[in-house]
Structure 1
Amino acid sequence: MERTVSSELFYEDTAKTAQASLPLRMFANLMLWQRRLSSRHQLARLDARLLADAGISESQRYEELSKPFWR
């Protein structure tokens, strides 16, 4: 005899999992945004010599610094 899972149970479990993981995803996004802000602040403080050592041009730095934190 073969057993199958009711679709109602599947969707109920999926909804519960999605609700439970929402705070984790929000926290992960906040941490990612914080890392981007921090690294862009560090990039802004680099002088021309350090940029050249890292292989980053002034235009690449400007492009990165002009991005919003969510991108």
Structure 2
Amino acid sequence: MANMTYTETGYQQSSQFNLVARVKMAVLTWLERSRSRRQLSELPEYLLKDIGLNEADRYQETTKPFWRG
């Protein structure tokens, strides 16, 4: 019986850790997207052309909410 309780507790802790890790990764991803989109919005037009984008592409990407990939 003690072994069963230990296993259930270990599973709960592991599950909680996974949830915290997933939330942390989501927040880090959102911050990176926000930063990248802000940088994209500041690029001069000649650099946009250099990476194969135009103003419409920039607008489409930079107007997305941070949670959308």
TM-score range (shorter-chain normalised) is 0.7 to 0.9
Identity %: 39
Instruction: After TM superposition, give the deviation of residue 15 of structure 1 in Å.
Output: 4.8
Question: Which whole-Å CA distance do the structure 1 matches of 2:22 and 2:14 have between them?
Answer: 12
Measured against aligned partners, the alpha-carbon deviations of 1:2-57 in whole angstroms (never above 9, x if no partner) come to xxxxxx99xx4655432221110010001000100110010011011010001011
Instruction: After TM superposition, give the deviation of residue 69 of structure 1 in Å.
Output: 0.2
Question: Which whole-Å CA distance do the structure 2 matches of 1:48 and 1:66 have between them?
Answer: 17
Tell me the amino acid that sits aligned with residue 61 of structure 1.
Answer: R
Matched residue, 1:64? 61
Matched residue, 1:4? none
Question: Which whole-Å CA distance do the structure 2 matches of 1:15 and 1:40 have between them?
Answer: 37
Unaligned runs of 5+ in 2: none
Question: Which whole-Å CA distance do the structure 2 matches of 1:19 and 1:67 have between them?
Answer: 31
Q: 2:52 aligns with which of 50, 55, 67?
A: 55
| RMSD (Å) for aligned C-alpha atoms | 1.9
Q: How many residues align?
A: 63
Unaligned runs of 5+ in 1: 1-7
Q: What's the TM-score, normalizing by structure 1?
A: 0.75
Larger Rg belongs to: 1
